[in-house]
């Protein structure tokens, strides 16, 4: 009898338990847990987890997602000791706590304790309910459901990220930064106690508004920690005398344009960890803000700093001041398409090195481009004549760059840049103006390209977040990249200070200025870092007098000074060697020594020594001329006395005004023999300066109201004539006409003229100042 009753009791209990479990399963299926993460709010942080900018959710709530391991153990101890000492042992509901709370409420005749566990508090955060008995029951059931589905650490993590801390702040990490100005893993004992109690009454205990209440509540936590001996007494005594902060830290707004960009790129991410170096970013923003305060109105600036080995973006300033509407601080100029000016010239030189068109000291021509589709001048308005490739690049000369692009091909140049990941914007087909800014690009692309110069010719897409996996692309050979860095690291007159910011660390740098002074650029490579600067007006309006060397270089210099110094001097790759070369032909110095007018030491790739490039004038296609001469050494055909064939090395025709007299064509090419009167002069229609006698003296009279003008007259020649005084342009006139220029101050001068067929002449004269005037 007793055995049967026992069996029935057991079976009844088992059946009831099964029914209860079935009911719970059905309830769980009918009322599933929602997505356990709160509504998406986003925090973008620096690499060290310092917040850069917070983006609230649709309700204006700011959260900073955090894991248990990123929260101070002191805080976890205070939280569990004060709120739920048995958290890791109960199933979500603590019956003893419930009965204790019930007894306390009956005795006090009011609600003084809810008996809620941390799990129940999380349930209330996920499923808000009225403070009533049915609401409490639903809260307990949800707590059991949470314990069924989640681990204890997962539940605790939910609390750490969802607990209210006053105002629009949820989560302990956001609270720590807002109320204490520090991350949650750096809390003192007093701060941990304060944050442990704050969610009980976030508005009542707000430390910025009610510091006395907050202190009393904090001390209650300290009393409990002492009662349970959770902390050493010494720590508790120190915590009691620590004051409660009474201010609210403003929401972070550092690298705001980068943060906005990353948030838009990853809208569903609650936490975006960038590669930004927080201290460097703050310093960069201060530098730019202070620097732009001295610039004309409405001018902004952008800057990037990149670690070359990792391609991580360490600092990103998209504007001068995010909050400055006059300077359009909301516009991200790191990504804005602008004219790059001359900043892309190094890559053309690198491509030409790889193509075998030049070496580091190839002879290039910096003279007016006659009869050419594109005829630019230099920024300085003058011309230098014969220049090496290295000097032309360092001085950013325009005509040699156009000469190289003409030889290399605009379409190929554009394709190479795009294949390396650069943004390139063209209006129409690629053309020669591209190399002087006649195309669009952005600061990000330009800096990315410059990383290749210090990374064996390989570009790596910039890494903005720690999880980015940027793509590596080939730009140029390691040898060409090494030669470019060597060229760009050489001191430039007037800028020696930036080329050697440190005796140990050379700086390879380049500037650029767009047409109409709309954009000023400067990019520098120092050690393992590359920094780029843009300055201009976001609306594209001109900034007269503001150009790369004057406006952008000083800011670049300040940024480079802020970077750690690291020695960076790599030996040349095996593909690079140094050898002697000859001008004007460009061959090795030991090949045709009789044709070597001038020697240079050049860096060459793969032992290839390309000849001097043609300049575009038909008679310059070959610089090695063969002529017949008679017994007197005069030029003559075999039919009229020519006895011997003579080979002559000539310089490009347009260079004559810049060459010493003994290297000019009329001196190198023998005069025609009178026995061949019908023989046309090889050098075409002879051009001769008139009006001023060679080696003459011009005098100026002191106090003259109208100083005499210098005549610009000539005979012969063809078409447009360019006139130069001491190699500086002073006028352009047509053949058969005359002009004048102001009389120079006393001194020695050279006057030269060059026509569009390449014919030239020059004279030397002196200007003195004495009584009387005229030509002596």
pLDDT: which is higher, 682 or 430: 430
d(Cα 693, Cα 350) in Å, to the nearest integer? 46
Rounded Cα–Cα distance for residues 461 and 469 (Å)? 8
User: Which of the two residues, 279 and 671, has the higher pLDDT score?
Assistant: 279
Does the annotation mark 242 as catalytic? no
Residue 534 near residue 302 (C-beta atoms within 8 A): yes
% of the chain beyond a pLDDT of 70: 86
d(CA 504, CA 527): 9
Q: Sheet with 51-55: list strands edge to edge.
A: 51-55, 42-45, 271-273
pLDDT tops 70 at residue 728:
yes
Beta strands in 499-597 (DSSP E): 507-513, 519-526, 529-536, 576-583
> Which range among 12-26, 94-108, 553-567 shows the weakest confidence by mean pLDDT?
12-26
Q: 67 or 370: which carries more pLDDT confidence?
A: 67
Bigger pLDDT: 746 or 45? 45
Per-residue confidence (pLDDT) for residue 287, from 0 to 100? 96
Helix (H) or strand (E) holding 600: strand 598-605
In terms of pLDDT, which residue wins out, 339 or 757?
339
Residue 690: in which H helix or E strand, if any? Answer: strand 688-690
491 C-beta neighbours (distance < 10 Å), count: 14
Rg (CA), the chain: 40
Joined together, the tokens standing for residue 651 give 């310089």
- Rounded Cα distance between 78 and 603, Å, is 69
3-state secondary structure of 713: strand
Supply the pLDDT for residue 773: 38
Instruction: Return the higher-pLDDT residue of 59 and 219.
Output: 219
Q: What is the pLDDT of residue 775?
A: 35
Question: What is the band of 108 on the pLDDT scale with cuts at 50, 70, 90?
Answer: low
| Spatial separation of the C-alpha atoms in residues 333 and 311, rounded to whole Å | 20
pLDDT at res. 762: 83
pLDDT, mean of residues 111-121: 76
DSSP state of 93: -
Instruction: Please give the mean pLDDT across all residues of the chain.
Output: 87
Please provide the DSSP assignment of 356-378 as one string.
Answer: TS--TT-EEEES--TT-S-----
Of the chain, the percentage scoring pLDDT greater than 90 comes to 55
Active-site residue, selected from the candidate residues 83, 147, 444, 557 = 83
Determine which one of 167, 274, 339, 342 is catalytic: 342
C-alpha angle with apex 553: 544 to 298, nearest 5 degrees? Answer: 40
Q: Tell me the pLDDT tens digit for each residue of 455-469.
A: 999 999 999 999 999
Q: Is 167 within 8 Å of 175 (Cβ atoms)? A: no
In the structure, what pLDDT confidence band is assigned to residue 618 with cuts at 50, 70 and 90? very low
pLDDT computed for residue 683 by the predictor: 45
Say which residue, 152 or 109, is predicted with more confidence: 152
Per the CB < 8 A criterion, the answer to whether 743 and 710 are in contact is yes
**pLDDT at residue 551 in the model:** 94
In which order are the strands placed within the sheet that holds 720-725?
A: 728-734, 720-725, 747-755, 760-769, 696-700, 774-775
Cα–Cα distance between 656 and 595 in angstroms, integer?
17
The neighbour count for residue 745, using CB atoms within 10 Å, is 10
Is residue 726 predicted with pLDDT exceeding 80? yes
Tens-place pLDDT, residues 182-240: 999 999 999 999 999 999 999 999 999 999 999 999 999 999 999 999 999 999 999 99
| 429-433, 640-644, 767-771: which is most confident | 429-433
Rounded Cα distance between 26 and 466, Å, is 44
What pLDDT score was predicted for residue 27? 63
Name which of 289-298, 550-559, 661-670, 693-702 the model is least confident about: 693-702
Nearest of 166, 164, 317 to residue 253 by alpha carbon? 317
- Structure-model confidence comparison of residues 492 and 702, the more confident one: 702
3-state secondary structure of 682: coil
Gap between the Cα atoms of 340 and 336, Å rounded: 11
pLDDT bracket for residue 776 (50, 70, 90): very low
Question: Among all chains, which residue has been given the structure tokens 């004549």?
Answer: 385
10 confidence band (pLDDT: 50, 70, 90): low
What pLDDT is stored for residue 413 in this prediction?
97
Select from 410, 408, 403, 404 the least CA-distant residue to 369. Answer: 403
In angstroms, rounded to a whole number, what is the distance separating the alpha carbons of residues 682 and 251? 78
Q: Among this protein's residues, is 151 annotated catalytic?
A: no
Identify the band that residue 357 occupies on the pLDDT scale cut at 50, 70 and 90: very high
Residue 774's pLDDT band (cuts 50, 70, 90):
very low
**Separation between Cα atoms, residue 523 and residue 498, nearest integer Å:** 11
Q: What is the pLDDT of residues 499-527, one digit of tens each?
A: 656 566 788 999 999 999 999 999 999 98
Question: pLDDT higher for 698 or 586?
Answer: 586
pLDDT at 21: 61
pLDDT digits (tens, 9 = 90+) for 583-611: 999 999 988 888 999 999 999 999 999 99
Is the confidence at residue 642, as pLDDT, over 90? Answer: no
pLDDT at 771 over 60: no
- By the 8 A CB rule, do 303 and 288 touch? yes
Which pLDDT belongs to residue 611?
93
């Amino acid at each position: 009898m007793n055995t049967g009753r026992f069996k029935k009791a057991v079976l009844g209990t088992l059946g009831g338990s099964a029914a209860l479990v079935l009911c719970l399963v059905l309830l769980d299926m009918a009322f599933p847990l929602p997505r356990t993460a709160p509504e998406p709010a986003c925090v973008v942080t620096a690499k060290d987890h310092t917040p850069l900018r917070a983006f609230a959710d649709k309700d204006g709530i700011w959260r900073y997602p955090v894991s248990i391991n990123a929260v101070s153990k002191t805080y976890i101890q205070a939280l569990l000791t004060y709120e739920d000492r048995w958290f890791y042992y109960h199933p979500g509901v603590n019956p003893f706590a419930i009965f204790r709370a019930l007894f306390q409420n009956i005795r006090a005749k009011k609600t003084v304790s809810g008996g809620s566990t941390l799990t129940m508090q999380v349930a209330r955060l996920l499923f808000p309910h009225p403070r009533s008995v049915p609401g409490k029951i639903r809260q307990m059931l949800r707590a059991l459901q949470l314990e069924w589905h989640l681990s204890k650490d997962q539940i605790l993590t939910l609390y750490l990220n969802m607990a209210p801390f006053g105002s629009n702040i949820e989560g302990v990490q956001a609270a720590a930064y807002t109320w204490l100005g520090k991350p949650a893993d750096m809390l003192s004992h007093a701060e941990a106690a304060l944050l442990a109690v704050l969610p009980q009454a976030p508005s009542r205990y707000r430390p910025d508004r009610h510091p006395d209440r907050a202190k009393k509540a904090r001390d209650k936590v300290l009393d409990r920690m002492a009662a349970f001996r959770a902390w050493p007494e010494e720590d508790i005594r120190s915590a009691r005398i620590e004051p409660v902060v009474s201010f609210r830290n403003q929401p972070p707004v550092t690298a705001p344009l980068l943060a906005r960009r990353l948030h838009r790129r990853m809208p569903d991410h609650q936490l975006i960890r960038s590669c930004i170096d927080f201290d460097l970013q703050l310093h960069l923003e201060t530098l730019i803000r202070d620097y732009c305060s001295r610039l004309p109105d409405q001018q902004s600036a952008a800057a990037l700093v990149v670690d070359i080995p990792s391609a991580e973006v360490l600092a990103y300033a998209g504007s001068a001041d995010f909050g400055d509407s006059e300077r359009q601080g909301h516009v991200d100029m790191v990504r804005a398409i602008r004219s790059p000016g001359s900043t892309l010239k190094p890559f053309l030189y690198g491509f030409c090195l790889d193509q075998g068109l030049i070496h580091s000291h190839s002879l290039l021509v910096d003279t007016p481009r006659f009869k050419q589709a594109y005829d630019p001048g230099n920024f300085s308005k003058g011309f230098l004549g014969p220049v090496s490739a290295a000097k032309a690049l360092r001085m950013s000369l325009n005509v040699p760059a156009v000469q190289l692009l003409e030889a290399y091909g605009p379409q190929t140049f554009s394709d190479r840049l795009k294949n390396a990941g650069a943004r390139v914007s063209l209006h129409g087909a690629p053309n020669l103006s591209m190399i002087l800014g006649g195309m669009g690009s952005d600061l990000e692309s330009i800096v990315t390209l410059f990383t290749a110069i210090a990374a064996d010719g390989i570009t790596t897409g910039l890494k903005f977040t720690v999880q980015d996996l940027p793509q590596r692309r080939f730009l140029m050979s390691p040898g060409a990249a090494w030669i470019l860095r060597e060229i760009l690291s050489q001191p430039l007159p007037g800028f020696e200070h930036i080329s050697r910011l440190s005796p140990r660390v050379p700086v390879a740098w380049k500037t650029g200025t767009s047409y109409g002074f709309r954009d000023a650029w400067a990019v520098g490579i120092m050690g393992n870092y590359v920094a780029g600067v843009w300055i201009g007006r976001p609306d594209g309006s001109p900034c007269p007098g503001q150009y790369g060397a004057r406006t952008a270089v000083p800011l670049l210099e300040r940024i480079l000074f802020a970077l750690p110094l690291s020695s960076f001097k790599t030996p040349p790759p095996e593909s690079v060697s140094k050898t002697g070369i000859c001008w004007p032909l460009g061959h090795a110095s030991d090949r045709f020594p009789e044709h070597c007018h001038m020697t240079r030491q050049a860096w060459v790739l793969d032992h290839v020594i390309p000849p001097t490039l043609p300049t575009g004038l038909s008679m310059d296609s070959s610089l090695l001329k063969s002529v017949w001469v008679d017994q007197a050494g005069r030029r003559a055909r075999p039919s009229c006395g020519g006895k011997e064939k003579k080979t002559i090395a000539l310089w490009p025709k347009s260079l004559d005004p810049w060459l010493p007299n003994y290297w000019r064509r009329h001196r190198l090419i023998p005069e025609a023999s009178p026995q061949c009167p019908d023989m046309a002069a090889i050098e075409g229609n002879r051009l001769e300066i008139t009006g001023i006698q060679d080696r003459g003296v011009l005098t100026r009279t002191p106090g003259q109201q109208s100083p005499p003008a210098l005549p610009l007259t000539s005979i012969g020649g063809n078409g447009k004539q360019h006139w130069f005084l001491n190699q500086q342009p002073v006028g352009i006139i047509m053949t058969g006409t005359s002009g004048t220029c102001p009389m120079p101050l006393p001194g020695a001068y050279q006057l030269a003229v060059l026509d569009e067929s390449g014919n030239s002449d020059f004279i030397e004269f002196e200007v003195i100042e004495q009584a009387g005037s005229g030509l002596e």
